[in-house]
Amino acid sequence: MELPDFANLSLVSIVGLAVLLATFDVIGSISIAIAAGNFSPTYVGDFLRTHVLLRIMPILLLGAAGNGIPAFGIPPIATASVAASAALAAYAIEVLGSIRGSWKDRSVAPG
């Protein structure tokens, strides 16, 4: 079995992987928090701010620059594509750590 070439991901692949990772993390974390009795609605807002705005959007912007935006006359920038792939890999590692931490979370529900 051959691994895919992560250095040349298409914009669709970058978006798909980032959304898949974020979705898996948030659904898993919310489910675990509800089961543990320590879910807080502010978690969702914090997630949107910290993950979507501060992590996913920059990765998507790098991916867009790496693949070029013909409608705006922006040619593909290979360095941005590699940077987007590296950032996506770092985000995947962060999400896996977050999921692992969620499984270990046994704190008392906030009161």
% the chain with pLDDT above 90: 4
Neighbouring C-beta atoms of residue 4, cutoff 10 Å: 8
Q: What is the pLDDT of residues 84-105, one digit of tens each?
A: 888 988 888 888 887 777 667 5
- Domain assignment of residue 47, given as a range: 9-104
**What pLDDT shows up at residue 63?**
86
Question: What is the model's pLDDT at position 110?
Answer: 47
What parts of the chain have a pLDDT lower than 50? Answer: 108-111
Burial level of 63, CB count in 10 A (0-12/13-18/19+)? buried
At CA 43, angle to CA 104 and CA 17, rounded to 5? 75
List the structure tokens of 35: 């089961």
What is the model's pLDDT at position 58? 92
| Residue 72 in domain | yes
The continuous run of DSSP H or E covering 89 comes out as helix 78-104
Does residue 1 form part of some domain? no
Tell me if the pTM is above 0.85: no
Whether residue 58 is contained in a domain is answered as yes
Residue 4 placed within a domain: no
CB 82 within 8 A of CB 66: yes
| Residue 66 in tokens | 């790496």
22 with 48: CB under 8 angstroms?
A: no
Q: Is residue 42 part of a domain?
A: yes
